[in-house]
Amino acid sequence: MKIEEKLALNAFKTDRESHIKINQEICRKACKTRYCLYVCPGHLYSYDEDRAEISVEFAGCLECGTCMIACREGAIEWSYPKGEFGVQYRYG
């Protein structure tokens, strides 16, 4: 089962604004490991070679916080989505 299909099973309410902000400067200057690409359970991070940019599809975020902990460079500014938004588990 593809990860996109798994995420599609969940109920999400998506805010217009992302609750995860990435400081590209730090990524470019300080990071060789790019752990964010590996550790996310939703596989939401990707790296665009041409633009040398990391992006995150915040709409599928499971709100675990792993990316924030794994990014030792501190490039990820992370908060919970505002009330009313984000994932809503029906089983948990």
Partner 1 sequence: MEKVDVVIVGGGLSGLSCAYRLAEKDLQVIVVERGDFPGSKNVTGGRLYIKPIEGIVGDMLDGAPFERKVVRERWTLMGEKNSVTVDFTGENLKENRHSFTVLRSTFDRWLSERVMEKGVFVIPRYRVDGLLQEEGKVVGIKAGGEEIYANVVVASDGVLSFMAEKAGLKPRMTPKGYAIGIKEVIELSEDRINERFNVGKEEGVAHLFIGDVTKGRFGGGFLYTNRNTVSLGVVVGIKAMMEAKPPIELHTLLDTFKARYEIEGFIKGGRTVEYGAHIIPEMGYKGISKLYHDGLIITGDAAGFALNMGITVRGMEFAIASGIMAGETILKAHSTGDYSVNTLSQYGEMLKSSFVIKDLYNFREMGDFLDRDEVFSLYPRSIPDMIEKVVWFDEGPKERIGATLWKAAKGSGLMGLNTLKLLLGLKKV
- Binds 73, which of partner 1, ligand SF4, none (CB < 5 to 8 A, cut-off by type)? ligand SF4
CA-to-CA distance for 56 and 92, rounded, in angstroms?
Answer: 24
- Binds 3, which of partner 1, ligand SF4, none (CB < 5 to 8 A, cut-off by type)? partner 1
User: Which region among 1-9, 10-18, 37-45 touches ligand SF4 (by CB under 6 A)?
Assistant: 37-45
CA-to-CA distance for 86 and 73, rounded, in angstroms?
Answer: 26
Reduced to 3 states (helix: H, G, I; strand: E, B; else coil), residue 15 is coil
83 membership: H or E segment, kind and range: none
CB of 12 within 8 A of CB of 87?
A: yes
CB of 46 within 8 A of CB of 7?
A: no
User: Which region among 2-10, 23-31, 49-57 touches partner 1 (by CB under 8 A)?
Assistant: 2-10
- Binds 1, which of partner 1, ligand SF4, none (CB < 5 to 8 A, cut-off by type)? partner 1
Binding stretches for ligand SF4 (CB under 6 A): 20, 22, 26-27, 31, 34-36, 40-42, 44, 54, 56, 61-67, 71, 73, 75-76
